[in-house]
Chain A
Amino acid sequence: MSTFKLPDLGEGLAEAEILLWHVKPGDQVQVDQPMVSVETAKAVVEVPVPFSGRVTALHGVVGDIIATGARLIDLEPSTTTRGVPINGVDLRASTAARGAPINGIDFEPGTADTPPIEAKNLDAGTVVGTMPTPSEEDLLEPVVIGRARGANGSRPRAVPVARALANRLGLALDDMVGSGPDGVLTLADVIAHAGMNGASAAARPAAPAGTGVTPPSLPTPPGAASEPLRGARRAMAHSMSMSRDQVAGSTVCDDADIHAWDRRGDYVLRLIRAMIRACAVEPALNAWYDAAHNSRVLLRHIDLAIAVDTPSGLIVPVLRDIGNRTPEDLRAAIAAHKDAAHRRSMTPDDLRDFTLMLSNFGTLAGRYGIPLVVPPAVAILGAGKVRQDAVVVADAVVAHRRMPLSLSFDHRCITGGEACRFLAAVIADLEEPD
């Protein structure tokens, strides 16, 4: 038994109304004999019998509106020929032909609908065209004419290559300030931000590395496991790589004779005071250097980053504007920072935009060092372990407590003279009594 469906009767007609059936169930019919008259939007059309056979069911009565592609009539195909004599004068009558059963005619390919979407049933019977049926169309009236409702300013605007670099570095564009037209983030902005904010990358989950070729992994010996670096360790690997790649580092070492100090401990506050003095003498070391634009900014305020060693790695919180704060205030801030660092509760704001760095590694061990400058800052002072040294005073050898100092500076924009004058000022301040 074969179901014949209403074909598209003329270039995009979606439906037709049954006007008159010329056959009824039980009739033996011949191909091309008149079957049903229907009315479309355009015309009254005679639909002929598609293939010879016996009518088993009609799928509509006079007056019914049948959609294109919907069932129209069921026919049991016959396999024998029955010729109908043709009126020789008037071939408008049907033409007899050996009807071939036509099953599963699918004149049009299926729609391009894919499985997730409701698929049309185009199997048996004939369907011409794939006119969307009215029930499928659910076009909303326009929500908005014209201006789409955009969430203005919800996402930072960036030059695509800057966005790509930020993604690779695991940096959020929201934290950056754009120097391009209308505040667009440029490539330089991302680079600069990455430099100033080296340690701050620890606060953000890093995105996977860029799309460059990945070198093969190191072989892992049996019993060992490869551990990806995260958080502060990852940030350190990143900022030190930047330091190595960008900075022309140079270091000058000396000692401060602190035998005049009454107290022990609290070296940090003395160091801070000394560095403030030194900045006044040699402001060039409290600056940001922009290699891409071959320029530097001498900064009035001193935001001092002090390295803190924690079990999870190196954290470098920043004390803001140390030149204008009381010692008590600074002491409290330092303590708070240490605490927060150990608890890993520092925020990105705590770690960014330092102008000068201090590494008091002497609390652990070490005399002199070659600390690394993290761009865009241009200097870092390292303080080694205080010890009793044999020094010569008025031709006699005496034992004095001394603090070793190592000053690294970016020789691209700091001269040796500036560095040494800075160091001299630090030493001079440190050598004063409490």
Chain B
Amino acid sequence: MAHGWEMQHDDSVVVIGQDVGANGGVFRATAGLQARFGADRVQDTPLAEATIAGMSVGMATHGLKPVAEIQFMGFLYPALDQIVNHMTRMRNRTRGRLSCPVVIRTPHGGGIHAPEHHSESTETLLCHIPGVRVVCPSSPARAYGLLLAAIRDPDPVMFLEPVRLYRAMRQDVSDDGQALPLDRCFLLREGADVTIVTWGAMTLESLRAVVALEAQGITADLIDLATLSPIDSETILTSVAKTGRLVIVHEAARNVGVGAEIAAIVAEHGLYDLQAPIQRVAGFDTIMPLFRLEHDYIPSVQRIVDAVQFTLAA
């Protein structure tokens, strides 16, 4: 819907990717767009991710705003050369003369028993790169508002769409063209005892954990990070100042995950507010398993609850 709104109001927005045209995208995210806006503005590309990313650089530097789809995050890697070496640097290396208003959308995370390589969460690779934003919405409504913001942003945005959320929720989203702010967290629950920071599909487990904890008289600030890079430290630090306890939850592997950056920020700027060590609940440092074990890999509600309990006992 966000595509449609923005393409309606901004001629320069074009959609490219594999199977985004007639097929409307393998998750139907671009359904109906080609019929509405034509095959020039909604293009099926040849099967080549480097092509998608590279042509986006070319299109964006010359008057268009490409919204490009990489079919699954597991297929992103041929595109990294173009993203890291060009898309994120063009403004800097031309001193602002050329820039890349590009959005690259890609499905993120697992949990829908998809085939191999279709369940990746390697957002850390992207967050580490200067010159690009990384956004991961946690609901259809926020996906709408954040995608609009991403398209309108004059610089590159990696837009990671949690696969579990494509059809997990029925949420009436008003097609009103209202963007949500980038670079800000969203507070989904308010509480006093602990701060939980998460994003993407793990928001579901985190919410369930919060419900379970409330039954035990424990309340939490549940923060949806939403923009993974740059991190809205202020919201997190304000919350930790109130609660004194922090649990970070992400599906991605623990080692050098985005949770590590959040923990470092709080250690640097919020140490004196902490009542207990920071806890990270994350995927294991193993290859994402094929789907028979994916629910053993993806952090469970119980792991989140246990981590919160641990901070309260410390």
Contacts and interface: CB of A to CB of B under 8 A. Distances in A.
Say if A and B assemble together.
Answer: yes
B187 A112 contact: no
Given A116-B212, A131-B112, A143 B187 contact: yes
A42 interface: yes
Contact of A132 (B142, B164, B232): B164
Given A146-B185, A147-B234, A159 B242 contact: no
Contacts of A163: 275
B232 to A, nearest CB: 6
B167 A140 contact: no
B186 A142 contact: yes
Nearest to A40: B167
B98 to A, nearest CB: 32
A49 to B, nearest CB: 22
A117 interface: yes
Contact of B184 (A116, A146, A158): A146
Contacts of A139: 138-139, 169, 171, 188, 203, 207
Interface in A1-48: 8, 11-15, 41-42
B170 A143 contact: no
A336 to B, nearest CB: 39
Interface residues of A, number: 49
Interface in B174-231: 180-181, 184-190, 195, 203-205, 207-208, 211-212, 215-216, 221, 223-224
B238 to A, nearest CB: 4
A163 B239 CA distance: 19
Given A131-B167, A131-B168, A149-B190, A112 B114 contact: no
A400 to B, nearest CB: 61
A108 B295 contact: yes
Contacts of A262: none
Nearest to A129: B113
Interface string B271-291: 111110000000000000001
Interface in A117-161: 117, 128-132, 134, 137-152, 154-155, 157-160
Interface stretch (B2-10, B122-130, B300-308): B300-308
A129 B211 CA distance: 23
B166 interface: yes
Contacts of B205: 112
B156 interface: no
A146 B185 CA distance: 5
A150 B181 CA distance: 21
What size tier do the contact residues of chain B reach? 35 or more
B139 A117 contact: no
B261 interface: no
Contacts of B189: 140, 143
B61 interface: no
Contact of A160 (B180, B208, B211, B274): B274
B244 interface: yes
Interface in A327-356: none
A117 B301 contact: yes
B36 interface: no
Contacts of B171: 137, 139
Nearest to A154: B242
A109 B289 CA distance: 14
A117 B164 contact: no
Interface string B244-281: 10000000000000000000000000011111000000
Interface in B80-132: 111-114, 118
A154 B241 CA distance: 9
A11 B292 CA distance: 14
B28 interface: yes
Given A11-B163, A148-B239, A160-B274, A130 B295 contact: yes
A229 to B, nearest CB: 27
Given A112-B205, A117-B212, A137-B168, A150 B239 contact: yes
B113 A151 contact: no
Contacts of A143: 187-190
A158 B238 contact: no
A203 interface: no
A58 interface: no
A112 B205 CA distance: 9
A85 to B, nearest CB: 34
Interface string A81-110: 000000000000000000000000001110
A111 interface: yes
Interface of B: 27-28, 111-114, 118, 138-139, 141-142, 163-164, 166-171, 180-181, 184-190, 195, 203-205, 207-208, 211-212, 215-216, 221, 223-224, 232, 234-236, 238-239, 241-242, 244, 271-275, 291-292, 295-296, 298, 300-303, 305
16 contacts: A108-B295, A111-B300, A113-B301, A114-B212, A117-B211, A131-B168, A132-B204, A134-B169, A134-B170, A139-B207, A148-B195, A148-B235, A148-B239, A149-B238, A159-B271, A184-B272
4 tightest A-B CB contacts, nearest first: A112-B300, A12-B112, A148-B239, A142-B186
Interface of A: 8, 11-15, 41-42, 107-109, 111-114, 116-117, 128-132, 134, 137-152, 154-155, 157-160, 163, 180, 184-185
